[in-house]
């Protein structure tokens, strides 16, 4: 609560400064809101506002203009994942491909944005050379260790936080069967041992980076979030280097339910009590159509989720998974759904933009 008032006081102070007579900033008589962008509104709250992005779209003028002005963080939507960044075996003279990731990092730096890394250990987007290589557990451990070292070392001091492990749990709280866990796995042991190993390797490589566990459908109190919580509690108690939890927050309008939103708040609170930093990492609100009613409902939900982050002092990042409906993963993965982001496919701001802005600024 104290933090909340600090954020409010900071916002009020900034407001007063910006509205001083003679200031070059918008004066009191202009109709402009005091925070012209999401980024300005979020900064006043000490919240980072991020977007996932892809280097191939940076040549679109509107895309780069919005990304570079409205957001204070960039995260690669795909280009730091194992497959894209490490497409060839280590025996190849050129196993890595940093082109896309480097372009995103350069863009972020030239626009004064921080970069968040995604992701080092995940069951998806694993290249065929790993999946079909017939490697033993000790060989896979070497491959993963080398991967973590190479990728993190390249971006040390440029990437401030990493989703070290992504989506390791099933919905019922059991461990997901994956190549890194048990098929054949890296030989670290059962349960959360392989996550512990990955976190330790990551910490050794870049002790300055904040290390996250990231997952979906773990926003509410449920079996999956209980399992993540048990792991986090154990890791904190034993000094395993875990700094935070990422809540992906890929939701639909069903999530605009007081019980679900309250459950998300309570869940964040228990993780915060462990001393963890909380990031909302992949927010989007998918719709079945783009009717005015749907866009209004979407805006309301975006506003409520933003407010949950504002009210939870440990919540330091609000990030959307892309920012324009022109380039969103939703239509490809949720058939018949889409319109999930803050800008439409013509780069026009949607009602959800104003809702997020207002929730940050109020
Ligand atoms: C998605 C990307 O958005 C797509 O472009 C890609 O084809 C598949 O992956 N959870 C995650 C993200 O952690 O990495 C996923 O991103 C979306 C779900």
Residue 51, strand partner residues: 74, 320
Average pLDDT for 271-292: 99
C-alpha to C-alpha distance for 201 and 58, rounded to whole angstroms: 33
Nearest of 1, 15, 20, 70 to residue 40 by alpha carbon: 70
The answer on pLDDT for 4 being more than 70 is no
Question: Of these residues, 70, 79, 167, 277, which one is catalytic?
Answer: 167
Secondary element (H or E) of residue 319: strand 315-320
- 151 preceded by a cis bond (ω within 30 of 0): no
The answer on pLDDT for 34 being more than 80 is no
Average pLDDT for 202-213: 98
How many CB atoms lie under 10 A from the CB of residue 134? 7
Average pLDDT for 34-50: 95
The answer on pLDDT for 155 being more than 90 is yes
Least confident of 24-38, 144-158, 184-198: 24-38
Tell me the pLDDT tens digit for each residue of 213-240: 999 999 999 999 999 999 999 999 999 9
Residue to substitute in 51, 53, 77, 340 for testing ligand 1 pocket (most ligand atoms within 8 angstroms of CB)? 77
Q: What share of the chain is helix, strand, coil (3-state, %, to 5)?
A: 45, 15, 40
| pLDDT attached to residue 362 | 85
Least confident of 7-16, 52-61, 148-157: 7-16
Total residues belonging to the chain: 362
Average pLDDT for 116-122: 99
Rounded to 10 degrees, what is the CA torsion of 104, 101, 243, 137?
170
337's CB contacts (< 8 A; 6+ apart) are 252, 286, 287, 288, 330, 331
- Take atom 16 of ligand 1 and give the residue whose Cα is closest: 77
Report residue 106 as tokens.
């350069």
Average pLDDT for 99-127: 98
Rounded to 10 degrees, what is the CA torsion of 327, 332, 338, 342?
-30
Given a contact cutoff of 8 angstroms between Cβ atoms, the answer to whether 284 and 320 are in contact is yes
Average pLDDT for 171-177: 98
Ligand 1 touching residue 166 (CB < 6 A): yes
- 139 vs 171, 195, 199, 201, CA distance in Å? 29, 17, 18, 16
Nearest of 141, 132, 155 to residue 80 by alpha carbon: 155
- 226 vs 47, 220, 245, 250, 305, CA distance in Å? 26, 9, 13, 19, 21
The answer on pLDDT for 317 being more than 70 is yes
Name the pLDDT band for 19 (thresholds 50, 70, 90).
very low
Mean of the per-residue pLDDT values of the chain: 93
276's CB contacts (< 8 A; 6+ apart) are 232, 236, 242, 243, 244, 245, 314
Ligand 1 mean position, distance from CA 146 (Å): 23
The answer on pLDDT for 29 being more than 80 is no
Helix residue ranges, H only, 71-166: 82-85, 99-110, 128-131, 137-154
Active site residue 282: yes
Nearest of 278, 340, 286, 285 to residue 309 by alpha carbon: 278
Tell me the pLDDT tens digit for each residue of 253-267: 999 999 999 999 999
Instruction: Tell me phi and psi for residue 75, to 5 degrees.
Output: -135, 140
| pLDDT attached to residue 89 | 98
Residue to substitute in 50, 321, 328 for testing ligand 1 pocket (most ligand atoms within 8 angstroms of CB)? 321
Residue to substitute in 53, 78, 123 for testing ligand 1 pocket (most ligand atoms within 8 angstroms of CB)? 78
Instruction: Tell me phi and psi for residue 248, to 5 degrees.
Output: -65, -45
How many CB atoms lie under 10 A from the CB of residue 199? 25
Ligand 1 mean position, distance from CA 329 (Å): 7
Alpha carbon 187 to its chain's center? 29
- Take atom 7 of ligand 1 and give the residue whose Cα is closest: 329
pTM above 0.95, yes or no: no
- Take atom 3 of ligand 1 and give the residue whose Cα is closest: 329
Which is the closest atom of ligand 1 to the Cα of 328?
Answer: 3
C-alpha to C-alpha distance for 227 and 234, rounded to whole angstroms: 11
Ligand 1 mean position, distance from CA 282 (Å): 9
The answer on pLDDT for 8 being more than 70 is no
């Amino acid at each position: 609560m104290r933090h909340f008032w600090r954020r409010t006081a900071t916002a009020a102070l900034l407001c007063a400064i910006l509205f001083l007579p003679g200031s070059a900033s918008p004066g009191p008589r202009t109709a402009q809101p005091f925070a012209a962008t999401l980024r300005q509104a979020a900064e006043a709250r000490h919240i980072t506002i991020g977007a996932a992005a892809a280097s191939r779209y940076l040549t679109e003028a509107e895309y780069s203009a919005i990304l570079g002005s409205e957001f204070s963080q960039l995260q690669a939507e795909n280009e730091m994942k194992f497959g894209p960044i490490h497409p060839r075996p280590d025996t190849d003279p050129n196993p890595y491909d940093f082109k896309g990731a480097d372009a995103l990092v350069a863009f972020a730096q030239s626009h004064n944005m921080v970069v968040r890394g995604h992701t080092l250990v995940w069951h998806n987007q694993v290249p065929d050379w790993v999946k079909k290589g017939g490697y033993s557990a000790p060989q896979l451990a070497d491959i993963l260790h080398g991967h973590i070292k190479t990728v993190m070392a390249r971006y040390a001091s440029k990437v401030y936080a990493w989703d070290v492990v992504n989506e390791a749990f099933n919905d019922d709280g059991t461990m997901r069967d994956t190549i890194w866990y048990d098929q054949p796995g890296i030989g670290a042991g059962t349960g959360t041992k392989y996550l512990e190993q990955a976190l330790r390797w990551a910490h050794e490589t870049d002790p300055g980076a904040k290390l996250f566990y990231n997952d979906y459908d773990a926003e509410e109190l449920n079996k999956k979030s209980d399992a993540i919580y048990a792991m986090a509690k154990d890791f904190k108690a034993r000094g395993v280097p875990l700094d935070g939890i990422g809540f992906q927050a890929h939701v639909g309008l069903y999530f605009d339910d007081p019980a679900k939103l309250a459950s998300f708040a309570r869940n964040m609170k228990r993780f915060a009590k462990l001393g963890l930093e909380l990031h909302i990492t992949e927010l989007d609100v998918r719709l079945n159509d783009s009717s005015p009613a749907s866009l209004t409902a979407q805006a309301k939900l975006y506003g409520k989720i933003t407010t949950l982050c504002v009210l939870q002092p440990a919540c330091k990042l609000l990030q959307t998974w892309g920012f324009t409906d022109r380039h969103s993963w939703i239509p490809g993965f949720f058939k018949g759904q889409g319109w999930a982001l803050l800008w439409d496919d013509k780069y026009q701001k949607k009602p959800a933009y104003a809702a997020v802005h207002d929730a940050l600024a109020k």
